[in-house]
Amino acid sequence: MGKTLAEKILSVKSNTDARSGDIVIAQVDLVFLQDTTGPLTVRQFQAAGFKKPAASLKAVLFFDHAAPSPAREMADDHAFLRQFAAESGSQAVAVGEGVCHQIVAESLARPGDLVIGADSHTVMAGGLGAFACGMGSTDVAVALGLGKTWLRVPESVRIKLSGRFPAQVYAKDLILHLIGHLGADGATYKSLEFGGDGLADMAIPERLTVANMAIEAGAKAGLFPSDGATADYLAANGRADDYQPLAPDADATYERTIPVGLGQLEPVVARPHTVDNIVPARELKGMKIQQVFIGTCTNGRLEDIAIAAGILKGKRVNHGTRLLVAPASRGILLSALRAGHIQTLVEAGAILLPPGCGPCLGLHQGVLGAGESCLSTANRNFKGRMGHPDAFVYLGSPATAAATALTGEITDPREVI
């Protein structure tokens, strides 16, 4: 009997014939921490009596969620993590380098890897065919120390993509649509596995956007096969040797299959306060927006910034609306500078933030006040997520965000093109 992507990867990592429902102990290739969950992870690591990360894995610490530090307590946490990185021989990725998941995709995760991160959006590396899973501090600490973790091999839901995206419809619209269909807990404990001929229309940056949000349907992993697009991406990032092809078996067993015709999709928005609260963007016409945020691990990539720059070129952001832009990594910022996108956006009135999480988690750089509404390209719109519990967060694609910045109200990007 054939295997799903999850079963294949976990079979190799656990050296067993892993099937959905099995519980396995698996070898971990990469463990990473970030600056808001990292300090507790390190304290649990030390409390467990570990001194150094297991030699068999790569250990990386990121400074991205509160970077540069907005508060002295965070600065102390940063110092604590830097000291741990130095003492333990772990790699530290400094303030300003970008969001952990983006750097993991650009330079660390390989197809077939088992990646454990102290952050729920670790699933994003599934866009490259890695089984990548977010965990809490104690689990991550133990994985870091032992070089392994226990996992229940998930049942898989196959998402069969066909066709091509219409103009102004993007990967973000696909995953929002899917979460609306599945519900915020529709894939809890499961692996979402993407396939079908529609994959041909999706380069790695778009696959990363989709995999990133698998967790918003509760999924444990969001997996894409590793194919020509993966090889191209790795080669473009100077990692051609990290490529290996990876696909599910043709006779793998799925819990169910959901077909999605990309051609039927349209720009959509998640309304407050749950990610599965999906409506077509056009139905929210007239909804006033005080802040637009383009960035995050979901949609802070070069392609996203290029889409926004394309819509805003030669125009001005609506008076009364703030447009914040945070490239997801330093590499993206540099590429966007070279391509002229940053100049275009700043001329249009955008505020440029350093590579990092920016205002995504309500900590700094654009915290919302009571009654304010934000259209964000991020992945979460929970109550209180971006600041005041009485603020409202809407989620959409970079195109919808740019169109909204232009008009000051939620706007279907097809209306401004």
Partner 1 sequence: MLRGKVFKFGDNISTDHIIPGRYAHLRSNLPELAKHVMEDADPTFAGRVRQGDFIVAGNNFGLGSSREHAPLVIKMAGVSAILAKSAARIFFRNAINLGLPILVCDTDKISDGDELEIDFQAGAIRDVTNGRMLTFGRIPEIMLRILDEGGLLPYLKKYGDLSL
Is residue 135 within the footprint of partner 1 (CB under 8 A)?
A: yes
Give the bridge partners for 60, in sequence order: 32, 91
Is residue 119 within the footprint of ligand SF4 (CB under 6 A)?
A: yes
Is residue 215 within the footprint of ligand SF4 (CB under 6 A)?
A: no
Q: How far is the CB of 126 from ligand SF4 (least distance, A)?
A: 15
Is residue 99 within the footprint of ligand SF4 (CB under 6 A)?
A: yes
Answer yes or no: are the C-beta atoms of 307 and 402 closer than 8 Å: yes
DSSP helix, strand, coil percent of the chain (3-state; round to 5): 40, 20, 40
Is residue 235 within the footprint of partner 1 (CB under 8 A)?
A: no
Is residue 142 within the footprint of partner 1 (CB under 8 A)?
A: yes
Residue 94 or 361: the one with the smaller Cβ distance to partner 1 is 361
Q: Which of 325, 360, 395, 405 binds ligand SF4 (CB under 6 A)?
A: 360
Look up residue 52 and give its amino acid. K
CA angle 329, 61, 28 (to 5 degrees): 105
Is residue 291 within the footprint of partner 1 (CB under 8 A)?
A: no
- Which x/- pattern, by CB under 6 A, does the window 271-310 give for ligand SF4? -------------------------xx-------------
CA 375 to chain CA mean position, Å = 17
Q: DSSP alpha helices (H): ranges in 112-203?
A: 137-146, 171-182
Answer yes or no: are the C-beta atoms of 281 and 269 closer than 8 Å: yes
Query: Where are the strands (E) in 3-103, listed by range?
Result: 23-27, 30-33, 58-62, 91-93
Distances (CA, A) of 177 to 118, 154, 164, 279, 306: 27, 23, 15, 9, 23
Look up residue 1 and give its amino acid. M
Q: Which of 12, 54, 68, 80 binds partner 1 (CB under 8 A)?
A: 80
Is residue 150 within the footprint of partner 1 (CB under 8 A)?
A: yes
Place of tokens 């689990």: 139
Q: How far is the CB of 206 from partner 1 (least distance, A)?
A: 24
Residue 90 binding partner per list ligand SF4, partner 1, none, with a CB distance cut-off of 5 to 8 Å that depends on partner kind: none
Is residue 74 within the footprint of ligand SF4 (CB under 6 A)?
A: no
Is residue 152 within the footprint of partner 1 (CB under 8 A)?
A: yes
213-252 as b/e, with b when 16 or more CB fall inside 10 Å?
A: bbbbbbbbbbbbbbbebbbebbeeeebeebbeebebeeeb
Is residue 40 within the footprint of partner 1 (CB under 8 A)?
A: yes
Judged by CB under 6 A, how many residues of this single chain contact ligand SF4? 12
CA angle 37, 64, 215 (to 5 degrees): 60
The CA distance from 145 to 148, in Å, is: 8
Q: Which of 13, 101, 110, 220 binds partner 1 (CB under 8 A)?
A: 220
Is residue 86 within the footprint of partner 1 (CB under 8 A)?
A: no
Q: Which of 73, 87, 197, 249 binds partner 1 (CB under 8 A)?
A: 73
Residues near partner 1 (CB under 8 A) are 23-25, 36-37, 39-40, 44, 47-49, 65-66, 70-71, 73-74, 76-77, 80, 117-120, 122, 134-139, 142, 146, 148-150, 152, 184-185, 188-189, 218, 220, 274, 361-363, 367, 380, 382-385, 387, 389
Residues near ligand SF4 (CB under 6 A) are 65, 99, 101, 119, 121, 296-297, 357, 360-361, 378-379
